[in-house]
Structure 1
């Protein structure tokens, strides 16, 4: 296993074998084996939203973990130049070629089941906490069509936060985005059960602060930030993420009210 002195806080593993694509994901994630003996769901920087999806996955997942949610371990995954050359599928081969270097992986939860909102009910406080999280990080991808929730060992697990942080796809008016409601919360799969949003807000505001946010933001690899050429220095990019999250936390009543208003239209 490759050690990672540059990015403390996450392990780095070498990808050894591409097992199979997971085609239910639009960005062609894949199941792969690594040199630590474990299997991971790989998210590739050569896919769709490129490094920005990896940044969102990293920040969203680690914020969720800090808040106490079950989230598969995130690791940096390294693909060397030779990896994937024997892959027969040209689309996958192009994806792997465009993803050489540092990517992101989620520990594979073997035999996990996709959460079925029609068959299972989530505790109202837990539902409220998940809705709060997704409104906070502006995650559009936790809907009835695609819940991004798994049941593993009889517990609910959160996956796939790559569609979060909508502001970073344009970087314009990020301050406005930070203090705005999140209208797309109306489509959230757990919104009907989220009756305790004020309780969730109180708990999470006590757990999050600027120092905690800064620690998580510092995990973002420099090369991922600079790849989009939105900023000239990686620290400038990290500072925007830090300020966005800090301002959003300080104004959480805005997106909490938005979620409450959206829920009122459902009942």
Structure 2
């Protein structure tokens, strides 16, 4: 249940670059911040750009609102002098192009990658995650790359940067908002998602218009536009309208997921 207090994210300053995570396409890194915690830093200067940070932020906070487990998300400031001593030219360029406000997730030390052959996910949780990824049009939760971790015997969701791909072209977002999510056929948990109708009712009740707008309000204006605050406001409204439209038409993506599951099994 949402309270009347506006959502807020903490802001930290990155103090130490520890190691790159080269399995990630955008070359995220483990870093330490001035609060003495370690984070997985997602760089604004990476190939996928700031839109991947927006997708990550919205995906994580919507998942959190739904009661799913995701690491704490923080804004992470990168100082201009930070990368000067980095010997790797690729990483040095990445740090140079990422000066300013980035996004980071609390590092889950000791977590292991979720393996569907080792860990069984119950039908309700599987249905919740499949539903979430249909809403977000998240193409990146497959058996090849699950983007889920097991930490303290619980399932945690990570890496939503490939979600909300409509925002790479603002021209057809209305059409995209009501389309079924065909890529759900490749979802690693689809075969176990037998409670989609129940989850649909429960999650639509949680994700009210106020809830969605409180989450999109977290996006920094500078991530939405380099031009003007007016453009930033327009783009924020598109995220609102896209998500609310998908929620209003959730039966479309639920039926597609159910159909894909019937074919799969």
Q: Aligning the two structures, in what range does the TM-score lie when normalised by the shorter sequence?
A: over 0.9
1:120 Cα deviation after fit: 1.1
Which position in structure 2 is the counterpart of 1:206? 205
CA contact (8 A) 2:30 2:41 kept: yes
CA contact (8 A) 2:221 2:229 kept: no
Which residues of structure 1 form unaligned runs of 5+?
1-6
SS at 2:245 equivalent: helix
2:262 to 254, 260, 264: 264
SS at 1:265 equivalent: helix
| In structure 2, distance between residues paired with 1:266 and 1:8 | 39
CA contact (8 A) 2:148 2:156 kept: yes
1:189 Cα deviation after fit: 0.3
Which position in structure 1 is the counterpart of 2:27? 28
SS at 1:41 equivalent: strand
1:248 to 246, 249, 257: 246
1:231 Cα deviation after fit: 9.2
| In structure 1, distance between residues paired with 2:229 and 2:158 | 28
SS at 1:83 equivalent: coil
| In structure 2, distance between residues paired with 1:29 and 1:173 | 30
1:173 Cα deviation after fit: 1.1
| In structure 1, distance between residues paired with 2:161 and 2:228 | 18
SS at 1:233 equivalent: helix
Which position in structure 2 is the counterpart of 1:114? 113
Which position in structure 2 is the counterpart of 1:151? 150
The alignment covers a number of residue pairs equal to 260
Deviations 1:167-188 (A, max 9, x none): 0011121011111100000100
User: TM-score under structure 1 normalisation?
Assistant: 0.95
| In structure 1, distance between residues paired with 2:216 and 2:237 | 8
1:230 Cα deviation after fit: 11
SS at 2:12 equivalent: strand
| In structure 2, distance between residues paired with 1:105 and 1:178 | 28
